[in-house]
Amino acid sequence: MLKEKQRKHMTETYQPHAIEVKWQQRWDETKLYRAKVDWDKPKHYALTMLPYPSGDLHIGHWFAMTPSDARARWMRMKGYNVLFPMGFDAFGLPAEQAAISRNIHPWKWTYANIERMREQLRSMGAMFDWEREAISCTPEYYKWSEWFFKRFYEHGIAYRGSALVNWSESLQTVLANEQVIDGKDERTGQPVAHKMMEQWFFAITNYADELLDFDGMDWPESIKIMQTNWIGRSEGARATFRTAASASGGDATSNAEGAPNDDAASNAESAYGRAGGSSPTESSGHPIEIYTTRPDTLWGATFMVLAPEHDLVDVITAEEQREAVEAYVRQTALETEIERMVEDRERTGVFTGAYAINPVNDEAIPIWIADYVMITYGTGAIMAVPAHDQRDFEFARAQALPIRVVIQPEGMTEPLRPDAMSEAYDGPGVMVNSDAMDGSVSTFAKGRANPAINRVIDWLEETGKGEEAVNYRLRDWLISRQRYWGGPIPMMYDGDIIIPVPDEDLPVLLPEDVDFMPTGRSPLTYHEPFFKVNETVRRETDTLDTFMCSSWYQLRYLSPDLDTAPFDAEEAAYWLPVDVYTGGAEHAVMHLLYTRFFNKVLRDIGVYADAAEAMRRHGRDPDGAFDEPMIVLRNQGQVLGAERQGDFVLCSGRLIGGKMLAERVEVVDWNQVPAGFAGVFGEIAHRTENVLHVNMAGVTQFVEVLPEAETIISDIPGANNVNQLRHHLDIQRMSKSKGNVVNPDELVAKYGADVVRCYLMFNFDWQKGGPWNENNIKGPQGWLHDIWEIAAAGAPTAPGDAAAERDIERKLHQTIAVINRGLEDFSFNTAIAEQMKFKNSFKATLRDGAIGAEMWRDVMSQVIRLLAPFAPHIAEEIWARLGWEYSVHTQRWPQYDADKAREEMVDLVVMINGKPRETITVAVDIERERAQEMALASGAAQRSLGGQAPKRTIFIPGRNGSDPKVNIVV
């Protein structure tokens, strides 16, 4: 009976599906992955970006999550108490679009998707603790998003303000700057327009400086650089120009036509004359503040430019210029961001008829408006220094405005002449034409580090003409959206008065009984029971940007069911901060910047106070623990679609005007072209409907397949048609429209989850990604198969060979070292490759009959534990079959032993003039004298020396695995 069973066990092949489902259930039942606070154990919070419930799990989710899971499992086996939660970022536009186009309520659509994706996520065999699941669209969750909003409002972080915002016509909502890429909406790729609107903002700019500090954060350099660039800190000065009393007043040159075009005079004492001692009175001049990073060029300002949207445009424009100015303003308003950003476009602008007094030299200069000055950056007004700024230079040339050199280039003996310049000079030099500042040395350095800038800033401050200033490219985070499917903003209005919804009334619930009409407006705006609080009070109908929900989800996982606070302080004290965060780099300046900001606000408004107190009670120092939400960040790359060869076709028909009208198309092998074939043949490079673009020896031939044509594809049985012809597909992103998506469910059905996991980890550099190639799945499949076979064969009965066993032990420990390093560095591919290598050695040694039973069991016990994080199901199954205690996933990770990994004998390499010539087997710890002696005595050395003494002998001791060498220079 027992014998029978034993035999069955021996011959059973690896059948992934049965064991995977079995163990997933067992893990659930035994709550194997439940993570609980345990102050006696070190904690590890591993977090992977939560998915949007779009309907189906994509292979990209597997690629992002399963390696993260392997690493979390490894940490757990190393003795950490690991939290690895999962949830859904469930508010957002696709649900609302589905509601409109398919008449299904967003709740239903979203929940159905979540149900489905939970099952798919389960099939990964990941160690998610599902009891900690958080879903951002539930009232239990968004109650706290609203609560945070109120706290932000109370602390002046959330405010309602009027600003030029990004309006997406296609989405019918405003968007944050971070969600606009190249002037287009990040989601749909549709152009975005600028609109002046009153909206809710978060004052992320208050934190600009702190967000630039990445101290103590182990984040990819590229992300830190992207965030730094996005914040865009620059140093310089602010100065206030005042409008001249009138264009004709003072000594200013009167020129109603616009600006003078006397280029030759531009380097003269003054282009327009000076206002002289009679500077404009306070009442006569409107202050126009400018920001510049080059205060050392203030004396070179020959005109000013305001953004067309600037408040003062209307005020200062002279009557005779009003028509032209207004026309220009209107035209600019119609332009989208994209049109305005096109490079090399003509520099357009209009003179306002007004002049401004340059505070440094009291000179009157004309004020223009032009679209190259952005209202959203700096003060929306610039002093134009055409000699030293390329944009101003181009504008000056286009509008025939004067140019004055105020930095004499370094190393140039002759004075730089404006009329000889073909571009602005922005290099180092000496200040000239700048009154008392002449002679100051300007370098490439920015801010105060530049001596000239430093001196000018001091002077500006002493004379009260300006001051040192720091400017940021970062704008405040626009948080309101004119959409339905988002968290309600807990605010009400009584006329102009803003009334926060009382805490006890939170959450403001999203009404369900709304009509989804394709009007582009949020259903909330015509849902009276929602927005009408009473006769005078109206509720806010805008909703929260979904990025707000995902800015704090790592906190909700701590206690997803808690209804008295956003998170439990005891849990937070133990688990926070997130130790390792993984996800896509596409969130560099969106989610990853927002969540850092959000966390800092929470810290500053005291949301972490209780958690800090709990930390102290447990003897952990809370200092700095809440400065950053995620300590280590790693981004996975992207799995791309596979390259595909197009079908090779023989087409016959008649040629008309360089195009073939084909009556017959046959798919063949490239080498099966009949001799003397007269038609078109080659690979299908592209196909649109029934027109084939055939690559015939490098030349594209067009073939129109006639409706009645015969199509023969021998691989596809039955009658074929033109739609079955496959065209060439380059490596590119996976997308439904390209038909190159890979469905993980199908892969799991075909190979099993463990094989898919291992394939994803093995075949790509995780942080880089790459093209899909299902052929390569055979590698990991064969590996797991072999492990299974080795286990199924059972322990050998013959006694082992001591030397061979020692060799295997050494290799095993060398392997452990590589796996540890691979997991530590997110180099999952190397960790698996090393295990494959070890398996090969072990298998070969087993075949030689050199492994004894005891050794076999010892090696297997370690091999299976090493395998467990990568292929959790098969590891669990083999572990159980070998009779060991449940579960392999709670076992201790094999301990690396450097002594066991050490080689005893190594090859001493004898090199002659740097070229290896011979090897001698020696002890690892061979000393210099002995090694050199042996090398000089070697045949190779004797031959090349020919009795002469060597010029030089260099000994290189072997270290970490490399062989010792002796280089003999002859």
Partner RNA sequence: GCCUCCGUAGCUCAGGGGUAGAGCGCUCCCUUGGUAAGGGCGAGGUCAUGAGUUCAAAUCUCAUCGGAGGCUCCA
Among positions 456-475, residues that touch RNA (CB under 7 A) are 471, 473
User: Radius of gyration of the chain from Cα atoms?
Assistant: 36
User: How deeply is 240 buried, as exposed, middle or buried, from its count of CB atoms within 10 A (0-12, 13-18, 19+)?
Assistant: middle
Q: How far is the CB of 254 from RNA (least distance, A)?
A: 27
Q: Which of 765, 858, 897, 903 binds RNA (CB under 7 A)?
A: 765
Which CB, 17 or 122, lies closer to RNA?
Answer: 17
Q: Which range, of 154-162, 197-205, 624-632, 785-793, touches RNA by CB under 7 A?
A: 785-793
Q: 476 near 203, Cβ under 8 Å? A: yes
Which CB, 293 or 541, lies closer to RNA?
Answer: 293
Which CB, 68 or 827, lies closer to RNA?
Answer: 827
Q: Is 373 in the site for RNA (CB under 7 A)?
A: yes
Q: Which residues of 356-384 are buried (b: 16+ CB within 10 A; e: fewer)?
A: bbbbbbbbbbbbbbbbbbbbebbbbbbbb
Question: Can you tell me whether residue 747 is helix, strand or coil?
Answer: helix
Q: CA-to-CA distance for 545 and 173, rounded, in angstroms?
A: 10
Q: Is 881 in the site for RNA (CB under 7 A)?
A: no
Q: 489 near 543, Cβ under 8 Å? A: yes
Residue from 259, 261, 267 nearest 418 by CA? 267
Q: Is 302 in the site for RNA (CB under 7 A)?
A: no
Residue from 384, 426, 429, 382 nearest 403 by CA? 384
Give the DSSP letter string of 606-660. Answer: TTTHHHHHHHHHTT---TTTTS-SEEEEEEE-EEEPPPBPPPEEEEEEEEETTEE
What residues numbered 319-348 form the site for RNA, per CB under 7 A? 340-341, 343, 345, 347
Q: How far is the CB of 645 from RNA (least distance, A)?
A: 12
Q: Which of 60, 67, 87, 236 binds RNA (CB under 7 A)?
A: 236
Q: Is 814 in the site for RNA (CB under 7 A)?
A: no
Which CB, 55 or 916, lies closer to RNA?
Answer: 916
Q: Which range, of 206-214, 773-781, 875-883, 894-902, touches RNA by CB under 7 A?
A: 773-781
Q: Which range, of 268-276, 568-576, 805-813, 824-832, touches RNA by CB under 7 A?
A: 824-832
What residues numbered 890-909 form the site for RNA, per CB under 7 A? 907, 909
Which CB, 180 or 537, lies closer to RNA?
Answer: 180
Q: Is 97 in the site for RNA (CB under 7 A)?
A: no
Which CB, 227 or 550, lies closer to RNA?
Answer: 227
Binding mask 41-80 for RNA (x = CB under 7 A): ----------------------------------------
Q: Which of 89, 133, 296, 371 binds RNA (CB under 7 A)?
A: 371
Q: Which of 54, 234, 253, 690 binds RNA (CB under 7 A)?
A: 234
Give the DSSP letter string of 304-368. Answer: EEE-TT-THHHHH--HHHHHHHHHHHHHHHHS-HHHHH-TT----EEEEEEEEEETTTTEEEEEE
Q: Sign of dihedral through CA atoms 179, 184, 185, 189?
A: negative
Q: Which range, of 648-656, 674-682, 739-747, 954-962, touches RNA by CB under 7 A?
A: 954-962
What residues numbered 247-286 form the site for RNA, per CB under 7 A? none
Q: Is 582 in the site for RNA (CB under 7 A)?
A: no
238: β partners: 291, 467
Quote the distance between the C-alpha of residue 583 and its chain's center: 8
Which CB, 302 or 763, lies closer to RNA?
Answer: 763
Q: How far is the CB of 633 from RNA (least distance, A)?
A: 14
Q: Which range, of 622-630, 670-678, 694-702, 842-850, touches RNA by CB under 7 A?
A: 842-850
Q: CA-to-CA distance for 23 and 29, rounded, in angstroms?
A: 10
Q: How far is the CB of 740 from RNA (least distance, A)?
A: 15
Paired sense of beta strands 965-969 and 180-181, if any = unpaired
Q: Which of 372, 526, 531, 884 binds RNA (CB under 7 A)?
A: 372
Q: Is 763 in the site for RNA (CB under 7 A)?
A: yes
H helix or E strand, kind and range, residue 699: strand 699-712
Which CB, 48 or 835, lies closer to RNA?
Answer: 835
Q: Which range, of 291-299, 412-420, 535-543, 597-605, touches RNA by CB under 7 A?
A: 291-299
Q: Which range, of 65-73, 549-557, 670-678, 840-848, touches RNA by CB under 7 A?
A: 840-848
Q: Is 205 in the site for RNA (CB under 7 A)?
A: no
Q: How far is the CB of 906 from RNA (least distance, A)?
A: 8
Q: How far is the CB of 229 from RNA (least distance, A)?
A: 5
Q: Which of 230, 493, 526, 886 binds RNA (CB under 7 A)?
A: 230
Encoded tokens for 403: 């140019």
What residues numbered 126-185 form the site for RNA, per CB under 7 A? 181-182
> What does the DSSP 8-state code read for residue 923?
E
Q: Is 454 in the site for RNA (CB under 7 A)?
A: no
Which amino acid belongs to residue 77?
M
Q: Is 829 in the site for RNA (CB under 7 A)?
A: yes
44: β partners: 82
Encoded tokens for 526: 């015509």
Question: Can you tell me whether residue 166 is helix, strand or coil?
Answer: strand
H helix or E strand, kind and range, residue 202: strand 192-202
Give the DSSP letter string of 815-834. Answer: HHHHHHHHHHTT-HHHHHHH
Q: How far is the CB of 293 from RNA (least distance, A)?
A: 4
What residues numbered 723-752 form the site for RNA, per CB under 7 A? none
Q: 956 near 967, Cβ under 8 Å? A: yes
With tokens 């978060």, the residue in question is 202
Q: C-alpha angle with apex 135: 227 to 230, nearest 5 degrees?
A: 10
Q: Is 221 in the site for RNA (CB under 7 A)?
A: yes
Quote the distance between the C-alpha of residue 752 and its chain's center: 30
Q: How far is the CB of 640 from RNA (least distance, A)?
A: 9
Q: Is 916 in the site for RNA (CB under 7 A)?
A: yes
Q: Which range, of 41-49, 360-368, 869-877, 959-967, touches RNA by CB under 7 A?
A: 959-967
Q: How far is the CB of 483 from RNA (least distance, A)?
A: 23
